[in-house]
Amino acid sequence: MLKRCVDVVVALVAIVILSPLFLLVLIITALSSGGAILYSQERIGYKGKPFMMYKFVSMYPDAEKNGPALWVKGDKRQTKWGVFMRKRRFDELPQLWNILKGDMSFVGSTRPERKYYIDQLVKIAPEYTNLLSIKPGLVSIGIVEYGYASSVAEMKERMQYDLAYLKNPSPFKDLRIIAKGMWKVLMGKGK
């Protein structure tokens, strides 16, 4: 319950403080993407419940015309602005709304993933389902330490960090994860 209260308060404060950045990102995204600003995508959350996750548009409209595809380094599906935005994680800002709604937490067991990839991952790593025992996060230890996964095999590697988090979650660990995540964002590091 305390974690939920902290999530709500911090998300509200972040929305207020970051509102100028929201506006700037919104305008540049609209200009660079041909008008589309936000997109929503079904992700799997706490206890396997699906929810709609929101992001600023960072890719061209037909990015998944051939079906679900993970981001890869140098991905040609990204707009020029999308490349910069993803590096700084600006595309994730609308997920503050997901936190307010209760679909996500600031720090979670993992990042929310699509069912398409979870189904593949569970076939080779059934323990992934343990990560659904708490809410997914805007950030997780796997994202901070490993980064984005470009394949199901990489998801399995990253999952090891997230499973370790589940063994002993704590507010202090969450603060370290947030601090390290913010440092990577500010430095434009990480994949």
Q: Residue 99: what pLDDT?
A: 97
pTM for the full predicted model: 0.90
Residue-wise pLDDT for 1-26, tens only, equals 888 999 999 999 999 999 999 999 99
Say if residues 101 and 7 touch (Cβ distance below 8 Å): no
Q: How many CA atoms lie within 13 A of 130 on its CB side?
A: 13
**Average pLDDT along the chain:** 91
- Return all residues near 42 (Cβ < 8 A) that are at least 6 apart: 50, 51, 52, 53, 114, 115
Q: Residue 191: what pLDDT?
A: 59
Q: Residue 74: what pLDDT?
A: 80
Q: Which secondary-structure segment (H or E) carries 137?
A: strand 137-139
* Res. 54 pLDDT band, cuts 50 70 90: very high
pLDDT of residue 109 exceeding 80: yes
Of 100, 91, 95, 126, nearest to 112 (Cα)? 95
Helix, strand, coil percentages, rounded to 5, for the chain: 55, 10, 30
Of 114, 104, 174, 123, nearest to 149 (Cα)? 114
Residue-wise pLDDT for 171-189, tens only, equals 899 999 999 988 888 877 7
Average pLDDT over residues 72-101: 90
